[in-house]
Amino acid sequence: MPLYKINPTKTRAWRKLIQQRDILCKKRLNDLFLEENNRLKYLSIEWDCFDVDFSKNILNKKTFKLLTDLARECKITDSIKMLFDGDKINETEERSVLHTELRNFNTKNSSIKKDREKIKSFSSKIIDGSIKGSTGKKFTDIVNIGIGGSDLGPKMAVEALKFYKNHLNVHFISNVDGDHTSEVLKNLNPETTFFIVVSKTFTTQETLTNAYLAKKWIEENLNTKKIQNHFCAVSTNTQAVNSFGINREFIFNMYDFVGGRFSVWGGVGLSISISIGYDNFKKFLIGAEKMDKHFKETEIENNIPVCLALIGIWNSNFLGSQTQAIIPYSEYLNLLPNYLQQSMMESNGKNIDRSGNNINYSTGNIIWGGTGTNTQHAFFQLIHQGEKLIPCDFIGFKKSLHGNKDSHNKLMSNFIGQMQALMMGKNLEEVIMEMKSKKIDRKTIERTSNFKVFDGSRPTTSILIDELNPESLGMLIAMYEHIVFTRGVIWNIFSFDQWGVELGKVLASKLLTEIQSDEIGDHDESTKSHLKKLKNYS
Ligand code: F6P
């Protein structure tokens, strides 16, 4: 069954939420806490190792009730069922959306079960050295070649879980930037380097260019045409992989029912399994599977992905925020904002609704961010005192992994302190009092006090997790996947296609032929000028 086609702005809840906005936008977060002494009871969820607190958003009980009504009017519960049942909800590509099957340990799909066994045995053999390079040496370095969903997920997870890593070093090449490829390869020993070429289509320009460069590098440096020992592939396109020269038993499956940006849970995650071992990779899948169960079985009011999706919709569609910042208080998660950019923006950056009509309300937000406390010293000025409303997700862990308690306490006091500052702000009266107490002269106070005012009332959501480990990372990533899905359902868009990436690719490949030839086609003046300038150098 296809997803319902419900225009959210025509629902009863939406109309009432507009009235709520008119009331709420005059309120300050501080006052909301004073007005209701039980906010945490209904605006926070404790689940497994997660403490999710969305009480520092500008809404009250009535707003929250209307948001849950909106989810119901947009049939979220039925839609979740359709997702897990494998209904063809990716309508424009006529596909099911079953990335959840990749982490379902009760799956009936025998191919997925076999894939897991293959990932397990292959990664163990690479780790223990029983699969060797063509000169008989054990591998020391693994290079994942892929782009978009074939890169961002494994790269983020390998980085996030490096506390759990073994002796192997995992590298990532994605861009069709020969300089970067050369920079990665120049420090590696071809005898002990193994490449994983990840491409669902095995036609992607960036990936194939890099894969062929890697192949040439092995052939030239090892003086052999037998590259098989140094390459495996993850793809749906077995024929193209074979013609590249990779052995059939070194090919890992991808499926048309799993979109690139949701594919980290299967063969695309091979580099993760090699980096931390299959047992840990399995825990990553188990974490995601637990979040799936929570998403599938929990009522709306206590359902973490649904509630966070609703908070995002409230902030963007009613309070007017255009962006959402993701701020993990852990350097291990420094690639999470990049990863979520693809997951959220490629999925929900759409302006046509499920009936094919233009949309006249806000959809996919701009996702950005970086790690706290680094970002406090970079862009937090704008979040605190800029004129834009920027809701932030703060992600933190109760425990540090290496046990440096002093640093961790400081890190987490910033985590809490920044959210408190964003909420409370500091008014002019407080600023003046503070300056006076510091014996600052009247003239300086008059001259500078306005600049020291913080409006406050800036929304934040905290996701506090016991510890960063493979299981909790799996939960976190699956949580965001389901937020993406829920928002897409309510916004009445198709979250699982990505037609918007096609046009640029097509034009780039046409222009490439012009860059490589003497001809310059009939283009606008600016494009022609670019081509001429480039030709002078090529
Ligand atoms: O950017 C578009 C996209 O299709 C992504 O969705 C995908 O993850 C990426 O390109 C890579 O595609 P492939 O895995 O086929 O090389």
- Secondary structure in 3-state letters for 133-166: CCCCCECCEEEEECCHHHCHHHHHHHHHCHHHCC
Q: Which of 26, 108, 167, 377 is catalytic?
A: 377
Residue 346 annotated as catalytic: yes
pLDDT range class, residue 517, cuts 50, 70, 90: confident
More confident residue, 362 or 519: 362
* pLDDT score recorded for residue 534: 87
Res 415: pLDDT:
98
pLDDT bin (cut points 50, 70, 90) of residue 142 is: very high
Tell me: pLDDT of 536 over 80: no
Q: What is the mean pLDDT of residues 120-139?
A: 97
pLDDT at 208: 98
Measure 232 CA to ligand 1 centroid, in angstroms: 18
- Sheet with 366-369, strands from edge to edge, namely 44-47, 50-53, 460-465, 392-397, 323-328, 366-369
Q: Is 181 close to ligand 1, i.e. is its CB under 6 Å away?
A: no
Q: What's the 398 CA to ligand 1 centre distance in angstroms?
A: 35
Determine the residue type at 538: S
Alpha helices in 187-244 (DSSP H): 205-222, 238-244
Indicate whether residue 204 lines ligand 1 (CB < 6 A).
yes
- Separation of CA 209 and ligand 1 centre (Å): 14
Residue type, 267: G
Element (H, E) at 396: strand 392-397
CB of residue 95 inside a 6 A radius of ligand 1 = no
Please give the distance, rounded to the nearest whole angstrom, from the Cα atom of residue 92 to the centre of ligand 1. 17
Token pair of 225 as six digits: 């045409």
Q: Is the preceding omega at residue 373 within 30 degrees of 0, hence cis?
A: yes
Q: Looking at 10, 81, 137, 505, which residue is catalytic?
A: 505
Q: Please give the distance, rounded to the nearest whole angstrom, from the Cα atom of residue 148 to the centre of ligand 1.
A: 5
Mutate to test the pocket of ligand 1, among 501, 502, 506 (most ligand atoms within 8 A of CB): 501
pLDDT at 37: 86
* 3-state DSSP assignment of residue 95: strand
Q: Nearest CA to 268 among 477, 89, 509, 505?
A: 477
Residue with tokens 């090449």: 173
pLDDT-based confidence at residue 519 (cuts at 50, 70, 90) = confident
Ligand 1 and 147: CB distance under 6 A: yes
Q: Are 119 and 284 in contact (CB under 8 A)?
A: no
User: What does the pLDDT look like over 312-330, one tens digit per residue?
Assistant: 999 999 999 999 999 999 9
377 an active-site residue? yes
150 lines ligand 1 (CB under 6 A): yes
Radius of gyration of the chain (CA): 25
**Is 470 touching ligand 1 by the criterion CB < 6 Å?**
no
Averaged over 430-457, what is the pLDDT? 98
pLDDT band at 537 (very low <50, low <70, confident <90, very high): low
CA of residue 204 to ligand 1 center, whole Å: 7
pLDDT tens per residue across span 6-63: 999 999 999 999 999 999 999 999 999 999 989 999 999 999 999 999 999 999 999 9
230 catalytic residue (yes or no): no
CA 201 to ligand 1: nearest atom: 15
Position in ligand 1 atom list of the atom nearest CA 149: 8
The pLDDT of residue 138 is above 70 = yes
Average predicted confidence (pLDDT) for the chain: 97
Whether the CB of 154 sits within 6 Å of ligand 1: no
Confidence band of 5 (pLDDT split at 50, 70, 90) = very high
* % of the chain at pLDDT higher than 70: 99
Q: Over 80: is that where the pLDDT of 538 sits?
A: no
* Cα–Cα distance for residue pair 429/122, rounded to 1 Å: 66
* 267 close to ligand 1 (CB < 6 Angstrom): no
pTM: 0.97
Q: Is the pLDDT of residue 362 over 70?
A: yes
Residue 221 CB less than 6 A away from ligand 1: no
User: pLDDT (tens digit, 9 = 90+) per residue, 57-92?
Assistant: 999 999 999 999 999 999 999 999 999 999 999 999
Q: Whose CA is nearest to atom 5 of ligand 1?
A: 148
The H or E element spanning position 121 is: helix 110-128
Position 363 pLDDT exceeds 70: yes
- pLDDT value of residue 225: 87
- Predicted confidence (pLDDT) per residue in 470-481, tens digit: 999 999 999 999
Q: Do the Cβ atoms of 364 and 261 come closer than 8 Å?
A: no
In testing the pocket of ligand 1, which one of 99, 345, 498 has its CB within 8 Å of the most ligand atoms? 498
pLDDT in the model for residue 226: 86
The number of CA neighbours under 13 Å toward the Cβ of 425 is 21
What mean pLDDT comes out for the span 428-451?
98
- Ligand 1 center–CA 222 separation, angstroms: 31
